[in-house]
């Protein structure tokens, strides 16, 4: 009887120990490095007077990061953004590399591989006709690469007006619009560029912002 009383007297301490051990295990597992392939949206960025057609819009990216970063990522879109310097009309191919990967804000991971490794496209002159315009407010500003760990865009969101064919414009959503900052860390100024699917044009308001150091 005495042993039974002693066992019941110490159960809160034992339960606390078990819960603490479980919590430490969860924390440790979230810090374990994980490598995973995730879907990504592919955007080709042609010269300003050209448009790209017949290009695939899907890719996959192999990422490595602590498990907690994949929890942050969730279903948020990963983007592969590749600029095309060649303005010659007609078919072409372009290689995709991990340097072309843009992660959602707040997710810290390293891109290891992009598939497909290259894509085919067709370059055509950009038509001048604008059918319709649509504006999104509160579009996050993406800061490329390791700069994100040191600089914060001010403001962090902007408005974007997208112009293009009405039928296709109606299918776009906020995830289809990327605002990429072009930083000048010397002056703290930064111009903005809106990236949208082929066949559309876009502009941001404001057209430039400033960068603020995360740690003074």
Which two three-digit tokens encode residue 165?
């064919």
Q: Where are the beta strands (DSSP E) in 143-200?
A: 151-154, 157-164, 178-184, 189-195
pLDDT of residue 122: 80
Please list, in sequence order, all residues whose beta carbon lies within 8 angstroms of the beta carbon of residue 97, skipping any fewer than 6 positions away.
114
Residue range 15-48, pLDDT digits in tens: 666 666 565 555 555 567 889 999 998 888 888 7
Least confident of 10-14, 79-83, 119-123, 160-164: 10-14
pLDDT of residue 50: 80
pLDDT of residue 91: 86
pLDDT of residue 143: 78
Averaged pLDDT, 124-138: 70
Confidence grade of residue 160 (pLDDT, cut at 50, 70, 90): very high
CATH of domain 33-125: 2.170.120.30
If we measure between CA atoms, which residue out of 71, 68, 63, 74 comes closest to residue 32? 68
pLDDT of residue 37: 94
How far is the CA of 43 from the CAs of 50, 100, 151, in angstroms? 14, 10, 25
Residue 195 has pLDDT above 80, yes or no: yes
Q: Model-level pTM greater than 0.85?
A: no
Residue 129 has pLDDT above 50, yes or no: no
Please, what is the average pLDDT of the chain? 79
As a whole-number percent, the residues of the chain with pLDDT over 70 amount to: 75
Architecture of domain 132-213: Beta Complex (2.170)
């Amino acid at each position: 009887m005495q042993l039974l009383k002693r066992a019941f007297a110490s159960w809160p301490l034992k339960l606390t120990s078990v819960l603490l051990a479980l919590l430490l295990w969860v924390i440790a597992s979230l810090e374990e490095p994980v490598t995973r392939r995730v879907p990504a949206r592919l955007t080709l960025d042609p010269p300003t007077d050209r448009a790209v057609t017949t290009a695939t819009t899907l890719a996959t990216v192999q990422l490595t990061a602590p498990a907690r970063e994949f929890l942050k990522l969730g279903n948020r879109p990963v983007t592969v953004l590749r600029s095309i310097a060649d303005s010659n009309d007609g078919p072409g191919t372009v290689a995709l590399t991990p340097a072309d990967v843009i992660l959602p804000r707040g997710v810290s991971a390293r891109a290891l591989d992009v598939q497909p490794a290259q894509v085919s496209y067709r370059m055509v002159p950009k038509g001048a006709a604008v059918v319709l315009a649509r504006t999104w407010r509160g579009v996050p500003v993406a800061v490329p690469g390791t700069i994100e760990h040191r600089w914060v865009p001010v403001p962090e969101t902007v408005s974007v007006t997208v112009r293009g064919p009405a039928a296709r414009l109606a299918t776009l959503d906020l995830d289809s619009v990327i605002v990429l900052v072009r930083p000048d860390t010397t002056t703290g100024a930064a111009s903005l560029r809106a990236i949208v699917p082929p066949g559309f044009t876009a502009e941001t308001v404001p057209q430039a912002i400033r960068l603020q150091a995360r740690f003074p």
